[in-house]
Amino acid sequence: MPPYRHFSPARIWALTMSTVTQLVRMRILVFLLVISVVVVAASFAFPAFSAEQQLKMLKDVCFGLEQLFAYVIAMVATALLLPKDVEDRTLYTILAKPVPRLEYLLGKLFGVLMVIIGGIVLLDVVLSGVLWLKQASVLADAVQGLNLQHGGTAPPEAIAAATADVAKQGLTWTLHLGVLAIFLKAAVLTSLTLLISCIASSTLFTVITSFSFFIVGHGETLFREYFFKGGTAWWQYAAAALLSVFCPDLSLFDVVDAVAEGKAVALSDVMSMTGIGCLYVVGYMVVAHLLFVEKEL
């Protein structure tokens, strides 16, 4: 027999795949299928808009659906994991073996993140394919309209300008940065929800609390501005510091709107967003482990 390891990636991987299987049994694939159908259907919508507006609206709908999938899984599905394991007595079976509680939490975290990654990557592939086909269609319609407008053949300059405008709103590599931002925000929400579930007594409380942090996290910048308004007293610094520690600043990951508008995102912003997201996840998991170790089961 191999010697016992206090930290084993193999055990974490087994728990991760078990969590993936558990989430798939919650009809996650049906959710993905419905969203994919809506994405395809959205490509036929907005016929009265201009070519650039049609592509912009299509990206807005698709990114909105990706965020809906990622955040629902991050908050609702994660909140169900620990209570479900307690109800099924699975948690006691796992912890009765020489499995540290840290590995159990990491297995749950990585399992949820794998489902989120798989889902948003699949939706990104669907979006890229639909957007590429839609881009070719609206460009052909735009060129045909220019030809009719100029009585036969449009000037090359007009066609080049229309092509550039459509390409700016079409399929670009920048779109994948929006997917990265969605994943990072979902990862922060997943770790935060897992932390709350370690101390919560019910699934409903975990979901409501996570959703409250989700709402406050998007307005944290406004709260900090309010605290510093009219002066910089010590209690204002303390209130802003406590808010920043306990509630993640989710507005740092809001690059989806800029990406959907065809704007470029600086590499420094991407690196900063990634680093802050990883820092939040590690911090929340450390606190979750400290609480889960002391939790009586």
pLDDT in tens, 237-262: 676 667 676 788 888 888 887 877 77
| pLDDT over 90 percentage in the chain | 13
Question: What mean pLDDT do residues 75-98 have?
Answer: 82
Q: How far apart are CA 61 and CA 256, in angstroms?
A: 11
- Band the pLDDT of 194: cuts 50, 70, 90: very high
- Residue 198: the pLDDT is 87
Least confident span in 15-24, 49-58, 262-271, 273-282: 49-58
Q: How far apart are CA 130 and CA 59, in angstroms?
A: 10
| pLDDT over 70 percentage in the chain | 76
**What does the pLDDT look like over 7-38, one tens digit per residue?**
778 888 989 998 888 888 877 767 667 766 77
Question: What mean pLDDT do residues 81-85 have?
Answer: 83
Cβ(74)–Cβ(29) below 8 Å: no
Q: How far apart are CA 194 and CA 206, in angstroms?
A: 9
Burial 219-239 (b: 16+ CB within 10 A, else e): ebeebbeebeeeeeeeebeeb
- Band the pLDDT of 266: cuts 50, 70, 90: confident
Q: Across all residues in the chain, what is the average pLDDT?
A: 79
Extract the tokens encoding 64: 């909105």
Q: How far apart are CA 108 and CA 13, in angstroms?
A: 10
Q: Which residue has the higher pLDDT, 237 or 210?
A: 210
DSSP alpha helix (H) spans, the chain = 9-24, 28-42, 51-72, 78-87, 90-96, 101-149, 156-169, 175-197, 203-218, 220-227, 234-246, 256-260, 267-294
